[in-house]
Amino acid sequence: MSRLEALAARTARLDASLREDAPRWIGIPYRWGGTTRRGIDCSAFVRQYVRDNLGIALPRTTADQRYEGIAIGRDELRAGDLVFFRRRGVRHVGVYLSDGEFIHASSSRGVTISTVESGYWDRHYWMSRRIIPAPPAGDLPTPRSIVRRDSTGARG
């Protein structure tokens, strides 16, 4: 299997894993500043969803999450990437799944899956960040096996 084929297989597994967890979140209401299943905002949702599914610790706010990982182009999106939107200074974040879809906590619909290319999201797309580190050649971790270390070397 070539490295490109291995990466495609890894991305497909990651997408399947993220989509498998989605139903337990869909419909949870949006609450600004909320961090629980009784009500959650977009950055708290992304933080929890990413920690549960990828084992990566993210900061609490969208303002801080926008600096995580590396910047990528919209045409480079893969499952597990963060997608950011901005409208009139208000920032929003979600987790990219595949096929143009992302999961997020919408202020009008609660946690839902939307399409990046749909009118509203397309118009307000801002940037994307890849938070999953690139594996060394020949070492392709599976979803949920990726753990980020903080600056002290402790697992996060």
- Report, as residue numbers or ranges, the catalytic residues: 42, 92, 104
Q: Are 105 and 42 in contact (CB under 8 A)?
A: yes
Geometric angle at alpha carbon 65, from 59 and 71, rounded to 5°: 140
CA distances from 11 to 60, 133, 144 (A): 25, 13, 12
Q: How far is CA 117 from the centre of its chain?
A: 16
Q: Are 112 and 26 in contact (CB under 8 A)?
A: yes
